[in-house]
Structure 1
Amino acid sequence: MVDTAAQTLRAGARNDLVTQLLGIWLLLAVFLDGWAHLHVPGLETFFTPWHAALYSGLVAMAAWTASVIWRQRQPGRPLTRSVPAGYTGTVIGLVLFAVAGVLDLAWHEILGIEVSLDALVSPTHLLLGFSLFLILGTGIRSARAAGGAEVFTRTPAALLSLALMTGLGAFFLIYCSAFVRTPPAVPYLQTPIGSPGHTQAELPPALGLASYLVTTALIIAPFLYTFSGARRPPFGIATILVAVVAWLPLAMSGLRPVAVAGAAGATIISAAADLLLARRPGPWLRRRLPAVTAVLAALIWTGQLVGIALASSIQWPVSMWLGAVVLSAGLAAALALLSSLNTRSVPVPAAPR
């Protein structure tokens, strides 16, 4: 463990950026391995090209992190006290990843290869995911340790770190992604309560509604995090978050035309929302954060619905698809309200004149 004195060491913005660029390698390898589990039949071995891409990325990240620490060493000081601020979690993540990899190998050799939903919730895979989360968060931890509120607008590494962690969350929650499922495009058979087959008919749309709430939280939570201590969110943040939450899972699961159209609609509308956000002063946004996030969520899902309607058709009744938009907007507003409870006593910096 690194002591307080070591926390004064800084890796530097350039080193942080290289770390996060290597993080792109790791995240893309994760999605590539997920693609193989979905599309390559008879995957019966741990030793695959996709695992090679993932673990070679781990080796590259470990070598780079070791070089960053080595270059920070000082004569007479233990190497453990040369870890730059923000990189302790990276070291822990690398060690956990290696341990989880050995456990994953043993798991597959004993119990076989998972091929569906069980692959996402396998304990060894979840441990790998937690390890990756620590590694991909390096840019944020390092930037916050350097001080200053404008973390995400000052350092590209921090913004990239946030995007990568959100993408990792989208990977592990792909089974309840509203972009992958496109629930309104699935026919809905209205079955009265108590009639035969009611439960079976209601289950798919119920899962679809739940997927909207989960995906909304996955986008809005990191969006709100960029407001923590900052005057305003970084430009383009809504588009970045929608892109990683929508397009990476779609590339992994399959680019179905209706899903692509929905994701394109959401991406376009989020880009328009970013332009609107950029025109409003930061203090104004913070004072109206619940309303801002509610409108953002409503716009994103409206864009998706328009894309689905253009590519195919909306199969849900108006009460269902409009209810999904309203529920998502309400959840976004609630998350914003909760996030602001701990910051009401913190003075908001005045906008520069």
Structure 2
Amino acid sequence: MVDTAARTRRAGARNDLVTQLLGIWLLLAVFLDGWAHMHLPGLETFFTPWHAALYSGLVATAVWTASVIWRNRQPGRPLTRAIPAGYQGTVIGLALFAVAGVLDLAWHEILGIEVSLDALVSPTHLLLGFSLFLILGTGIRSGRAASGSEAFKWTPPAVLSLALMTGLGAFFLIYCSAFVRTPPAVPYLQTPIGSPGHTQAELPPALGLASYLMTTALIIAPFLYTLSGARRPPHGIATILVAVVAWLPLAMSGLRPAAVAGAAGATAAAVVTDVLLARRAGPWLRRRLPAATAILAALIWTGQLAGIAVASSIQWPVSMWLGAVVLSAGLAAALAFLSSWNTKSVPGPTVLRYQA
């Protein structure tokens, strides 16, 4: 029987869900602020409606977290012992966010407002991002604490937590998103090596290929994480991950027809993948994990390319766009292989195993 003290150290699925719903507020405010910086030039002040949306979300999350801790307290015990399992990181994230907000205000007052790529790599903004990452991860940490030694169950708060953290990653990596850049829709001028202008001609498609690899990793890494300690990934996880990685950055940067069609094609491919995964048992997926993730990546990018072809046209030669799909599939398989490396000796049915 679980003692009362152990029970009170857990927040509960309902509290976790409220925390993650507040996380939606925070993440949407981040993208809204990014949209303002991209589409409203001349923002030269820290005090904007979009910052207000973000920091009011922080206050709401802080008040809610404090209420959870207060209701979890026990007579005669320190208040710090009332922090539910998994919420220690939330408290740290809230405190760091407040500190980073003050530092960000001082940064802007001294050095001015960033207007481009520098805004995404500003140290104070990165600290804000790390703080948000801790806050948005509450559902997963709490769920893992509740599962104990049993197989981890992907409850709605945990799935939402993973989606929000992935969306935050997509925000900070928007400059290398294959959904935003749509590289194959950009004309490619084949210039022989050594000829004048070769470097300038090769740079955009090279960045495009790199964006495919980065975006693939951003989707596949959390997908693989869903198999960590769990019997099978949650239903619909491929669609959820593709949706947050594709559509949130597109809504922020601009809904260009080719990009929208590509994202729609990739999302449709993810839905097909989820249907196929739902028909297979968890052990089957683990035994064939590298192949499964390679197929997932190949389907996503084939769907994107099909969407771009319908809405616009593919400007890359077949060797380029097909090579991007193959490279992405290879990276996905490599990540899956590494995630299951040297785990055969670990007992239990939930361990990732690789079978050639």
TM-score strictly above 0.5: yes
Instruction: Please show how residues 1-353 of structure 1 align to structure 2 within 5 Å.
Output: 9-147=9-147, 148-152=150-154, 155-347=155-347, 349=349
Shift of 1:319: 0.4
User: Unpaired runs of 5+ in structure 1?
Assistant: none
Contact 2:8 2:82 (8 Å CA) reproduced: no
Paired AA for residue 87 in structure 2: Y
TM-score scaled to structure 1, two decimals? 0.96
Contact 1:223 1:233 (8 Å CA) reproduced: yes
Aligned equivalents of 1:139 and 1:343: distance in 2? Answer: 26
Aligned equivalents of 1:342 and 1:309: distance in 2? Answer: 42
CA-to-aligned-CA distance 1:44-79 (integer Å, 9 cap, x gap): 100000000000000000000000000011111110
Contact 1:269 1:300 (8 Å CA) reproduced: yes
Shift of 1:342: 4.6
TM-score scaled to structure 2, two decimals? 0.95
Aligned equivalents of 1:77 and 1:343: distance in 2? Answer: 41
SS in 2 for 1:10: coil
Aligned equivalents of 2:347 and 2:324: distance in 1? Answer: 35
Paired AA for residue 213 in structure 2: L
User: Unpaired runs of 5+ in structure 2?
Assistant: 351-356
What is the root-mean-square deviation in Å for CA atoms of aligned residues? 1.2
Aligned equivalents of 2:157 and 2:190: distance in 1? Answer: 49
Contact 2:26 2:54 (8 Å CA) reproduced: yes
Aligned equivalents of 1:8 and 1:196: distance in 2? Answer: 70
SS in 1 for 2:340: helix
Shift of 1:281: 1.2
CA-to-aligned-CA distance 1:306-341 (integer Å, 9 cap, x gap): 000000000000000000000000000000000011
Contact 1:231 1:348 (8 Å CA) reproduced: no
Aligned equivalents of 1:348 and 1:161: distance in 2? Answer: 26
Aligned equivalents of 1:255 and 1:193: distance in 2? Answer: 36
Aligned equivalents of 1:257 and 1:336: distance in 2? Answer: 33
Contact 2:180 2:249 (8 Å CA) reproduced: yes
Contact 1:267 1:300 (8 Å CA) reproduced: yes
Instruction: Give 4+ residue runs of structure 1 displaced > 4 Å after superposition.
Output: 5-8
Kindly tell me the number of residue pairs found equivalent between the two proteins.
344
Sequence identity, in percent? 88
Paired AA for residue 192 in structure 1: P
Shift of 1:184: 0.2
Aligned equivalents of 2:280 and 2:85: distance in 1? Answer: 34
